[in-house]
Amino acid sequence: MPVRAQITVSAGTLGAATGTSDATAAPPAGTAANDVAIVYCWARNSGDTTTVSGYTEIPSTHVNTSNGSHRWFWLRLSGAASTATCDHNTSSDNYARMFVFRGLVTSGNPWDAVNAGVSRTPDSNGEYISGITAGAQSMVVVFSGYEDNDEANIACTSTDPATYTASYAEKSTGSGGAINACYAIKSSAGATGDILVNYGNVAGSNEAGRLAISLTHACSGPTIGAHTVCGATTYDNPSPAAFVSATYTPAVGNGVLLLLTWGGGSDPLNESITSIVNQDGTSLGCFVASPGSTFKLYSGPGTDEEAWAFYYCPAIPSSPSITAIRTNLSASTAYLQEFVVEFSAGTIQTTDFWDTDNTAVSRAEELEASVSVTNTHANDLLIAFLHNGLPTYPKGGYPPVTADSNYTAIVANPAYQANDMLEARAVSSTGSQTATITWSGTSLQWFGGIVGLKAVDSGSVQATHFAVSTPATATAGTAFNFTVTAKDAFNN
């Protein structure tokens, strides 16, 4: 299973200058708005005071070595990055390098923890820097400015994460210098343990300034196995026109899952979703969950019917811009709800993400529901759509107040949570899965189904059948079980 959307790192070339000339940090290619640039400046003069126009120095990180001054500055970009100048105030060798991070939080400080800068001469075993307590899925970064160019590379290790990717650059300008970084994703919150910074040669001959920082992942939603929910919302329209719109702005590159329910028209099952577009009507490249996209959710007397469908937009483009996700029904209907869930990029594969086969149909009449799926990986994300209400239109009923600890609620706009709920669970096998839901209020009237999302995984292919059912009765305030069972795909 992949980890949730990776924070990506790119580094510019190392700039260097001597005397009163200022080193410049050129940006890497492809930078964009909301990227975070960190510029590392150091000068071979412990009395030097450096500034970078437009940037803010990371507080309490400045450190002096015997012969040098090391500082770190940051900026959240409003567009493509420009070259940054490390404006130093002494006559000395000085060095500058820009690192750009994508996928961080888009407001406030981009770190959840930062250590004070430290300095020391590495020996033959490298040199340790005190560990840092990082948030889940944050990126731990260790910067190191070595005051010579007689090394070859850099490597970092710690308890968690155990290994890091390194970016090393050195120049012989003046007496020589290097600016380097090691970085790795911290999959769970907690301490890294002390971090060993090691250079390519057996022993360093000069000092180095170092800094450990934990940069905060943009997604703040629940952790579901290897998946991240970056955000969710709903749009509730009791009298929709042809287009309805959930005002939501997902991040470029992230995927969006749309759960659409509608009903109350002359025949909701004969209506269909014709397009998923942005606020200007431009297609977002979304595709339907399965060839049989419209599932019968409830069939009552007359027009008291409701239908549902899942769509997935695998990668939100940078163009067209997205401030709303609009749904076009083939005909008008008395009611439509969009449930929008944003997943981090790379979590769900971009094609054929849905595990159902061509004949998959889900229905929920009275107290039973089932859906057949072809689960091709052991590690899947199960999405349970829990929809309950009185068997009359408009819908009524109550949400579950607790869920099995194995499932995590995907929370959207609470104003629209009175009847529907998404619960998600990452499963590590295709065996039987059981969960417990406790409802409040009146007895459960009807209940949705379980669906599977296929993750990017090289696991073995297994054909399975998932079924979900409720007991004959579901008493208010009393826990009951629903069981998802994996069977042979042909065991219907």
Cβ-contact 439, 457 below 8 angstroms: no
Q: CA-CA distance, 187 to 174, in Å (whole number)?
A: 41
pLDDT at 348: 52
pLDDT at 380: 59
Q: Which of 208, 199, 196 is nearest to 152 (CA)?
A: 199
Q: CA-CA distance, 392 to 111, in Å (whole number)?
A: 50
Please give the biggest Cα pair distance in the chain: 86
Q: Which of 441, 423, 443 is nearest to 232 (CA)?
A: 423
Q: CA-CA distance, 355 to 364, in Å (whole number)?
A: 20
pLDDT at 239: 60
Burial of 287 (0-12, 13-18, 19+ CB in 10 A): middle
Taking 70 as the pLDDT cut, the residues of the chain under it are 1-6, 201-205, 220-228, 236-244, 263-274, 287-308, 329-335, 344-409, 411-492
Q: How many helices (H) and strands (E) would you count in the chain?
A: 0, 40
> Rounded to 10 degrees, what is the CA torsion of 286, 292, 297, 301?
120
127-129 and 195-199: which strand pairing? Answer: antiparallel
The predicted-structure confidence for 222-278, as pLDDT tens digits, reads as follows 666 656 677 777 776 666 656 667 777 777 777 787 777 776 555 655 666 667 888
pLDDT at 458: 29
Cβ-contact 432, 444 below 8 angstroms: no
Output the six-digit token pair for 475.
């008493």
Q: CA-CA distance, 77 to 34, in Å (whole number)?
A: 5
Mind giving me the DSSP string for 267-291? Answer: -GGG--EEEEE-TTS-B---EESSS
The predicted-structure confidence for 48-100, as pLDDT tens digits, reads as follows 999 999 999 999 999 999 999 999 999 999 999 999 999 999 999 999 999 99
Q: CA-CA distance, 422 to 415, in Å (whole number)?
A: 14
Using a cut of 0.75, tell me whether the model's pTM lies above it: no
pLDDT at 460: 29
pLDDT at 357: 33
pLDDT at 36: 97
